[in-house]
Amino acid sequence: MNKSVLLLALGLGAGACHRAVPTTKGKAPGASTSATVRPSKEAAVKAVDFDSPYLTAKGKVQATIKGDEKSATINIRMRRDSAIWVSAGLLGFEGVRALLTPDSVRVINRLDKTYFAGGYDYLTKLLNVPVSFAQAQALLLGNYQPAPAGAALTLGTGPGGGQRVAYPLNGVLVEQILQAASGRVEKLTLTETGTDRSLAADYADFQAVDGAKVPFAHSLLVDAKQGPTSTKASLKYSKVSAGRAELSFPFDIPKGFQRMSGKK
């Protein structure tokens, strides 16, 4: 079982693709799906978010790391604004399990027989990008990331007639492309100013989901570049369901596992 691809799968499920993207306050479970009310230019952004109270998903991660192709299965459970549960493994054997809440991160690594319990600094060090619960949730759901107050927001037309929204944030140019028909985010690009680092996340294969009012992207393709080095990963869901049914988030630390300090 390959450790690197399992950690990458965990990263995809936990929002590893965000770098300096602003956090936003989520709605309470049960709120209806609609375009978010935004001030000034943001009011003209026709984004529609996926905000079902609960989500379960099963899929497969395929990644190219330093020229080698790897794969892993992934299972995700989410209670909006409260918990994200991720399990990644190969051939029916779980390698990594994580439980994220707004103020805590817990991870079991069965490969090393270790576990972590602490804050988001662990994921930030592991993935080398700033990570928060709100960012992880937005990436998982494919939701729009609004510009913070005072940001120089630019609105334009993207491919297919959808909106193109861009703004600078902490040395990063954030660009999002919205579908013309649905208002769903179909592409997120982050480009760090003055460096050769960038990241693109493409959402595709939007399908209706039982228990939800808006389509959900069943395919996520991530391309992270730093100079000549590129890491590509795709997450394709085979099953997605949403609604109000209560979910469980099992997380028990096996006896004999050693606690990690969280230091990289």
Residue that wins the pLDDT comparison between 206 and 246: 206
52 or 124, which is more confident: 52
Q: Answer positive or negative: Cα dihedral of 151, 101, 214, 199.
A: positive
pLDDT mean over 55-67 = 86
Q: What is the DSSP letter of 21?
A: P
252 in any annotated domain = no
Q: Which residue has the higher pLDDT, 51 or 216?
A: 216
Whether residue 261 lies inside any domain: the answer is no
- Where in the sequence is the domain holding 74, given as residue range(s)? 3-24+46-241
Q: Which two tokens stand for residue 50?
A: 């996926």
Residue 251: how many CB atoms within 10 A of its CB? 16
Of the candidates 233, 235, 241, 249, the residue with the CA atom closest to the CA atom of residue 59: 235
Chain segment 36-48, per-residue pLDDT in tens: 445 567 888 999 9
In this prediction, residue 83 carries a pLDDT of 96
- Cβ proximity of 156 and 141 under 8 Å: no
Arithmetic mean of pLDDT over the chain:
81
pLDDT mean over 222-247: 85
200: pLDDT strictly greater than 90:
no
Please state the rounded mean pLDDT for residues 87-107. 90
pLDDT in tens, 120-170: 887 767 665 567 888 788 888 899 988 888 889 999 999 889 999 999 987
pLDDT at residue number 175: 94
How many domains, in total, are found in the chain? 1
Q: Exposed (0-12), middle (13-18) or buried (19+): which is 122, by Cβ within 10 Å?
A: buried
pLDDT for the residue numbered 39? 52
List the structure tokens of 118: 């602490």
Q: Please report the pLDDT score of residue 79 as a whole number.
A: 94
Evaluate whether residue 224 is within a structural domain: yes
Answer yes or no: is 181 within a domain: yes
Pick the residue with more confidence: 184 or 135? 184
Residue 28 pLDDT > 60, yes or no?
no
Query: Within a domain: residue 135?
Result: yes
Is the pLDDT confidence value at 215 over 60? yes
Kindly tell me if the per-residue pLDDT of 249 is higher than 60.
yes
Give yes or no for a contact between 53 and 243, defined as CB atoms under 8 angstroms apart.
yes
Query: Which pair of tokens denotes residue 214?
Result: 């808006």
Q: What pLDDT, on a 0 to 100 scale, did the predictor assign at position 7? A: 52
For residue 83, list its beta bridge partners: 79
Confidence of residue 11 (pLDDT cuts 50, 70, 90): low
Does the pLDDT of residue 222 top 70, yes or no?
Answer: yes
CATH code of the domain in which 124 resides: 2.50.20.10
For 107-128, what is the mean pLDDT?
83
